[in-house]
Amino acid sequence: MRKPNLIIGKKQIILASLTLVLGIAVYMNYVFAEVGNDIAADAEIQSAADTQVNYGDAAFVGADSSDPAEPASAGASDYFAQARLSRMTSRDDAVQTLSAILGGGDLTEEENAAYTMEAVNLSQLSESESKVESLIRAQGFEDCVVYLDGETASIVVKSEGLAAEQAAQIKDILLTEVTIPAENIRIFEVK
């Protein structure tokens, strides 16, 4: 029978050092994550304090500013940014749900194929939305957001008076990318 070796070997030293490095990495992540949260919380508190509103105070709603186009464009830009963020969030949630379903492992082959096909379709719709948005902006429109869901398409375009030929141009761009009946395409204008 062999006696136990009490001398520390190379494997034990390597294992101990890797464990130590892992522990330091986890600690550093914890420390820096806490600092980041504190900074974000401080910024939220500061911005909330800066934007205090006295409810009930009178304010002019239709007052003229020095640059009348500035507030409208800022509102439209915010709309498009918010719309893209909302669309991205909902798509990410859908992808996460599909990933959880596919990763569960309790699916038959038919269900697995159906969910995989749904994930592929979702990816293709997202890619088509990006392409159509780029092509519409290339036609001279300042900004746009495209919503596709396989059967319908909604396009929101930033424009000062959308002409019929511009709407036809937008429909043509969309129909080159996806196959949706023309009656299911809706175009909206934001000024």
**Residues β-bridged to residue 145:** 156
> Rounded CA gap, 41 and 13, in Å?
42
Query: Per-domain residue ranges for the chain?
Result: 75-189
pLDDT tens digits, one per residue of 90-113:
888 888 888 887 777 777 888 888
111-131: per-residue pLDDT in tens?
Answer: 888 888 888 888 888 888 889
Indicate whether 82 pLDDT > 80: yes
**CB-CB contact of 133 with 144 (8 Å):** yes
**What's the CA gap between 155 and 187, in Å, rounded?**
5
pLDDT at res. 71: 46
For the domain bounded by 75-189, which CATH number is listed? Answer: 1.10.287.4300
Distance of CA 39 to the CA centre of its chain: 23
Q: Tell how strand 144-148 and strand 185-190 pair up.
A: unpaired
> In this structure, which amino acid lies at residue 48?
A
More confident residue, 68 or 160: 160
